[in-house]
Amino acid sequence: MNILKTVAAVLGLACALPSLAADEPGGWALSLGPGSALEAARRLFSGATQEADGSLVLAHDRQLRLPGTSKTRAQLPAGTRLSAPTALHVRSEGRPYTLLMWEGVRPDASGDGGFGEEVAVLAVLPEGSLDASDVAEVKGDRDTYLDQGPVLGSEDAFTVLNAHHNSSQGYASTDLFHLRDGRLRRIASVFTLSSLINCQDAFQEDLQWRVEPDGDGPPRILAKLTLTHAPALMRSGCDRMPRTRNEHFEDRYRWNAAQKRYLHEGGNSDRLDRWNDQHR
């Protein structure tokens, strides 16, 4: 993970990479009270078998929903191989849950969802249960990470980061989630781009989540974005490097009691989106 973070820092992704992957419990032996993560996976994927390398191989085709869509389903055909899960503990309305995320490979890249042949399955397990209250396919890019998000009163938000980098640019899409009645609910999806192609045109984008009180209801959520032109990590060795300067953007999300979900309240991140479209 330290090597990964070093590479990510060079490409401007350090703010989004999770810090918990090496510290949080994970693996097939993870205890979930009445059983292990392996037992939970076998309930979710009936007939699946575990191979000598530790991967779990699906015996039957499965369709999983994609967060943020109403009808599209990800295809996980029989033969899909899932690796041991990572885990994250969160609360929803004061009740504890465990999130399990398996990454895996499909026999082929046909069908919706995933990133080519690769998939990531995210399951929600209430405390004391091996039966998932929700499950979805969340892979949208080469690297996928599950991490903690801001605290929303009596519950915890969490993020799914999908990212990749090439020789000079880093791309990251961060989805912010929480749970409602044991179901995954996406609050926001934020794209950030960083480019270190040369001294003159280098830039880096950072995302931070903030909350602020909103009366007696759940807190308002702010996605704070900073665009740094000529970031300090690229100034060394450059001739006539321009002065580092920052631009700031934000989006706001507020709880709607009638619809029982967070809605986009406003902001100016669309300006950054247009800027990114011109610099990909």
Give the pLDDT confidence score for residue 168 in this predicted structure: 82
Contact 40, 125 (CB under 8 A): yes
Half-sphere exposure of 130 (CA within 13 A, CB side): 16
Residues 6+ apart with CB under 8 A from 252: 220, 221, 222, 223, 264, 265, 266, 267
Mean pLDDT of 238-260: 90
> What is the C-alpha R_g of the chain?
20
Taking only the tens place, the pLDDT of each residue in 262-278 is 999 999 999 999 999 99
What does the mean pLDDT of the chain come to? 88
Residue among 184, 197, 49 nearest 125 (CA): 184
Taking only the tens place, the pLDDT of each residue in 138-188 is 999 999 999 999 999 889 999 999 999 987 889 999 999 999 999 999 999
Q: How far apart are the C-alpha atoms of 215 and 69, rounded to whole Å?
A: 31
Q: How far apart are the C-alpha atoms of 130 and 126, rounded to whole Å?
A: 8
Give the pLDDT confidence score for residue 239 in this predicted structure: 75
Query: For residues 269 and 16, which has the higher predicted lDDT (pLDDT)?
Result: 269
Give the pLDDT confidence score for residue 85 in this predicted structure: 92
Q: How far apart are the C-alpha atoms of 42 and 109, rounded to whole Å?
A: 24
Between the two ends of the chain, the Cα-to-Cα distance in Å is 27
